[in-house]
Amino acid sequence: MQEPTLYVVKAMAILDNDGNRILAKYFDDTFGTTKEQKAFERNLFNKTHRANAEIIMLDGLTCVYRSSVDLFFYVMGSSNENGLILASVMNCLFESISHILKKNVEKRNLLDNLDIVILALDEICDGGIILESDPLAVVQRVALKPDDIPLGEQTVAQVLQSAREQLKWSLLR
């Protein structure tokens, strides 16, 4: 019997309907190189893209998955991980992205909003530790307007966007 751990999630991935990676985060060194990761993702996609199930055991990992239009969402944990916990993470990931994309969960829309999707993924899980399982809480955290965030907590991109807006309005006066 293994000791309980907070490091529940091994990886999270979003693939397109051809099995190509759109977004993937691996939280341990199970697959050390990008080549190994992509080979695993290709194998995972081949096993799941026609299946009607929601969970699969593959290469010593428990993989929970869900598809929508032309996207496949995956959450992976160790082989002895509770599938319900991984399913909860999957539900949070999918529902958060669905809210962010205004129920239009498809590849083009996801790519247009990839920055917010990455933030949502980071809000759900950090380093394999589940931080949040409520999709509405995740959406509220990532949907902040730059004006509402204190300057010290803004990213460089947000500061530059705010500066561009101020410059634009000063030139239009």
Tokens describing residue 62: 């428990």
**Residue 58 is inside which H or E element, if any?**
strand 55-58
125-163 residue pLDDT tens: 988 888 988 988 888 888 755 555 555 556 677 777 777
Q: Provide the CATH number for the domain around residue 83.
A: 3.30.450.60
Number of domains in the chain: 2
Q: What is the value of pTM for the model shown?
A: 0.77
Residues 157, 89: one domain? no
Print the domain residue range for 89: 9-142
| Residues 56, 116: Cα–Cα separation, whole Å | 28
When pLDDT is averaged across residues 87-115 and rounded to a whole number, the result is 88
Per-residue model confidence (pLDDT) at position 104: 80
| Residues 85, 106: Cα–Cα separation, whole Å | 25
Q: Which of 45, 71, 65, 41 is nearest to 53 (CA)?
A: 65
Per-residue model confidence (pLDDT) at position 169: 74
Residues 126, 173: one domain? no
Instruction: Give me the percent of the chain exceeding a pLDDT of 70.
Output: 90
Strands annotated E in 59-164: 61-68, 71-78, 125-126, 129-130
Per-residue model confidence (pLDDT) at position 3: 74
3-41 residue pLDDT tens: 777 888 899 999 998 889 999 999 988 888 899 999 999
